Amino acid sequence: MLIFWKARLVLLAVPKTGSSAYEAALAPHASMTVLDPPELKHAPVYRYNRFFRPMFDKMEAEMELMAVIREPVSWLGSWYRYRQRDFLDGRPSSTKGLSFAQFVEAYLSRDRPPCANVGSQAKFIEPRPNGTAVTHLFKYENQATIVGFLEDRLGLALDLPRENVAPRGDLSLPPDLEARLRRACAADFEVWARAR
């Protein structure tokens, strides 16, 4: 999470949406960087609302929230590929030995195994009853729009490095499995469709 006090902007770090690259490029310009623990670095709206918003309320500062989300199949693919990395070998969160289709089946199961327990982008940005919500929602696939917004809002030129890039892999799904995913995760597809 990056906080830009003067711009009254908070960039939420949605996992697997390029947050490491934005952190590398923007941390020197941020008023506050939340890098650890991962539960706060990747704080969803509900956690921001609980831990950070009260602090800004005391300062009488109305902060706007920004988030980047990824097309849901691509997002799951990024998790799958990331969890193929050697450093996870032998751990329950590893996806080594699984096809992407098997990973998606695990993600759709009632009791997700650790390798597929990756949450939901729609839940991450879900508005709170008190009105705390993402003000600026962008599609990961529209990098030029994201960069343009940040450059205008923060008054700087942005050069994004490639960070934390997962290895390539086959992300094809059988049509019936993709249809099931689209039905089960309709909220994620809807949120992505309305982002700019």
CB 180 within 8 A of CB 108: yes
Residues 50 and 34: their CA atoms lie apart, in Å, by 15
- Please compute, for residue 64, the number of CA atoms within 13 A of its CA located in the half-sphere on the CB side: 11
DSSP three-state, residue 68: strand
Residues 100 and 80: their CA atoms lie apart, in Å, by 7
> Domain range holding 59?
2-194
Q: Count the domains in the chain.
A: 1
pTM of the model as a whole:
0.93
> What number of other Cβ atoms are within 10 A of residue 167's Cβ?
9
* CATH code, domain carrying 148: 3.40.50
| Residues 130-170: tens digit of each pLDDT | 999 999 999 999 999 999 999 999 999 998 877 666 667 78
| Residues 22-73: tens digit of each pLDDT | 999 999 999 999 999 999 999 999 999 999 999 999 999 999 999 999 999 9
